Structure 1
Amino acid sequence: MKKGTYLRCVTRHGFIQIEGHRYSTNAARPGDTVLVRVDAQDLDLAHVFRPESDALIGWAFRRTVPHTRLRAPSSPPMGAREPARPRDCSRAVWRWLAETNRKIEDSWIGDLIGAICLFVMIGSFWILPLIYEVFK
């Protein structure tokens, strides 16, 4: 690519095309016509000007990475996939915990555990200020 001055239109993705190279800029909006001067010492840099007044509005930098389209990864056929073993184990453990919880809540043991927790919470509100006063 050679040094020069070009009158270009910013693409809808914010690029300026100069001799097959894409320069990205945020100095102008898509659809704006700009005057572009490529730097002689650094061909990856271009100065962007307003075409009517030659006022510098920003810079454009050449993309060195080729433009590639992102594609969704293709999934293997259903028969080729292996079942998720850790997930199956965690589901089985969760089911067992849910069944055990249901059994405890339905019996008198659940009521006993609830009463003990209630007394511990109420007792801690009385005991904690006393402990605070002792160790103050």
Structure 2
Amino acid sequence: MKTFFENQYYLQLFFLIIGILSAIVGCFLGFGIMLFYLIVGIPQLISFSIRAFKKDEKSIIYIIYGIFILPVWIILLIFFSFRNEFIGANFLGTILIISLIYSPIMAIFYVYDAYKISKQIV
């Protein structure tokens, strides 16, 4: 279990650094910072899902991360499933736009939580 949390921390840190570099490069190449959200978000979603089924105690950062980030992925899934036929698109689109601001902060907190847990389990 200790090696899982250590590996998770280093993997999440790696994807965070690569995501930041891709955002910087993306700004110069003209496709913006949207690649950051995918490079960092997908591995964190997978890590979050794996940790959800582990029997360890969940930290408050982990719970807050789940409350704020899981709805974003669910909304994206709804948008891609229903295309333009979904009635609540304005409200859910507003949530997605707001998430563009707080999700990088939540990503940093998630990596910090992974670090804290990897050092806690010795």
Bigger RCO (CA 8 Å, 6+ sep): 2
Larger Rg: 1
Q: Could you say which TM-score interval applies, normalised by the shorter chain?
A: under 0.3
What's the TM-score, normalizing by structure 1? 0.23
What's the TM-score, normalizing by structure 2? 0.25
Between Structure 1 and Structure 2, which shows a larger proportion of helix residues?
A: 2
